Structure 1
Amino acid sequence: MIPYGSLANSATIILGSLAGCMLHSRFPERIRVIVFQGLGLCTLLIGLQMAFKVQDILVVIFSILVGGILGELLRLDTLLERLGNRCKKMLGSANPKFTEGLVTASLIYCIGAMAIVGSLEEGVNNDPTVLYTKAILDGFASVALASTFGSGVLFSFIPVLIYQGAMTLFAGYLQQYISPELIAQLSATGGLLIVGISINLMEIKEIRLSNLLPALPLVLVFTPLAHWIKTVLA
């Protein structure tokens, strides 16, 4: 099947990014700074809303801590930076924030319940409504992000298309393993990572979020493990 929802999402990211890049050169520095800070605050709100969906806080804590250790050992931040810089070099971009924009936008668009639920809904029920809604939201976010980071945001459509498209195509197989509780735990963990993005955007402290990404697959392991332990101890 064709993942129409993911294709629409990619298209709105491209269009929004192009609009943001055009606005980028027209913004005075003080306007760019306030947009950057406003975007950080909005991202903080989104992250907190997602984080408060947590159902088992210990699973999230262990996922973040163990995931961070794994990410540091694997040096994921360096790997993603190299990939971003390679993409930047291939395109001949002189934008100093290209890689940062690409990684930041990709994290915002790919982490969240809408990406998971929407992809599964289209794959199983052939209903892309959730992804169409996400596409509209991501399109507007792309305008703000690209006005700050520039052209790197535009190419975040590639991981979005691969990530969501793959889930849509394999939805029938994945659905039996992804329960509402698991989605809530993934959303909560992703929400914490998005809070970290907002902290970076507002330049409060630099957090190597790329190295925390293993927390998400670890949630898939720790959630059923915690459920099994509770069942045994009950």
Structure 2
Amino acid sequence: MWGTIFNTGMILVGSALGALFKKGLGDKFQASLMQAIGLAVLLLGANTTVQAMPKSKYPVLFLASMAIGAMIGQALDLDTRFNNLMARAGGQSALAQGLSTAILLFCIGTLSIVGPMQAALNRDYTFLFTNGTLDLITAVVLASTFGFGIALAAPVLFLWQGAIYVLTLLVANAISTALLTELSVVGGILIFASGVNLLHLADVKTLNLLPALAVPPLFFIVLHFI
């Protein structure tokens, strides 16, 4: 868990630095920074998906994952629930958008998924230390636009990576490279959708799409018993 603790700490540090930097930024600079973040997120999501798709042995699985995930997410209305929670906590819609983007970036990236698995299986923290360094930079950029509230993504990341770590220990023999590939394809699409929102190209309710990440593991579980 040391890698996850490091990763979480880097988000907190980056959020604090970004919040301090925010005080010296005018509206025009913040708008430009928002566009820069949006473009970077688009590229990151597209790159993650494009790199993973050629390795996929189930080219239609990501389509089914997105469709099923969207239906489940819409039925649960996760996006509205999240925004209502932020409103009760005194948050603003801009912070809610920034925080949802931060959670997607910090949690859904390949390093954030594979890292805890490597730590659990091989005691290798390289991916998590690398991810923590990247998240430090990302947190600075996001917090300079949305404020210190981005730090709320830190405990989410800790729980996310902690859950993956524990689950990996429990089902070490059932995890395959194919599953990691499918998760990367779906995760890249979700990150891309977050970039679309930041650039105001469309109103994609990315939180309602999150259940799509649960479909590939369920698919491989079913496939194992067939």
Taking structure 2 as the reference length, the TM-score comes to 0.91
Matches within 5 A, 1:92-171: 97-171=94-168
1:22 equivalent in alignment to 2:24: no
Offset of residue 158 of structure 1: 0.7
Please give the alpha-carbon distance, in whole angstroms, between the structure 2 residues aligned to 1:180 and 1:123. Answer: 15
Please give the alpha-carbon distance, in whole angstroms, between the structure 2 residues aligned to 1:227 and 1:194. Answer: 29
* Range moving further from structure 2, 172-181 or 194-203: 172-181
Matches within 5 A, 1:1-234: 3-52=1-50, 53-54=52-53, 55=56, 56-86=58-88, 88-89=89-90, 97-223=94-220
Structural RMSD (CA): 1.9
- How many equivalent residue pairs? 222
Does the CA contact (< 8 Å) of 1:196 and 1:207 recur in 2? Answer: yes
Unaligned runs of 5+ in 2: none
Please give the alpha-carbon distance, in whole angstroms, between the structure 2 residues aligned to 1:17 and 1:161. Answer: 15
Please give the alpha-carbon distance, in whole angstroms, between the structure 2 residues aligned to 1:76 and 1:96. Answer: 15
Unaligned runs of 5+ in 1: 230-234
Once the two structures are aligned, what percentage of the paired residues are identical? 32
* Range moving further from structure 2, 95-104 or 17-26: 95-104
Taking structure 1 as the reference length, the TM-score comes to 0.88
Please give the alpha-carbon distance, in whole angstroms, between the structure 2 residues aligned to 1:167 and 1:223. Answer: 16
Please give the alpha-carbon distance, in whole angstroms, between the structure 2 residues aligned to 1:198 and 1:101. Answer: 11
What SS does structure 2 have at the residue aligned with 1:214? helix
Deviations 1:169-213, CA, capped at 9 Å, x for gaps? 332223322211110110010000000000001111110011101
Runs of 4+ in 1 over 4 A off after TM superposition: 223-229
Deviations 1:10-62, CA, capped at 9 Å, x for gaps? 11101111111111121122211111111111111110111111213310001
Please give the alpha-carbon distance, in whole angstroms, between the structure 2 residues aligned to 1:174 and 1:99. Answer: 34
Offset of residue 223 of structure 1: 4.6
- Equivalent position amino acid for 2:168 in 1: A
- Equivalent position amino acid for 2:47 in 1: Q
- Equivalent position amino acid for 2:59 in 1: I
Please give the alpha-carbon distance, in whole angstroms, between the structure 2 residues aligned to 1:201 and 1:44. Answer: 9
- Equivalent position amino acid for 1:161 in 2: F
Offset of residue 227 of structure 1: 8.4
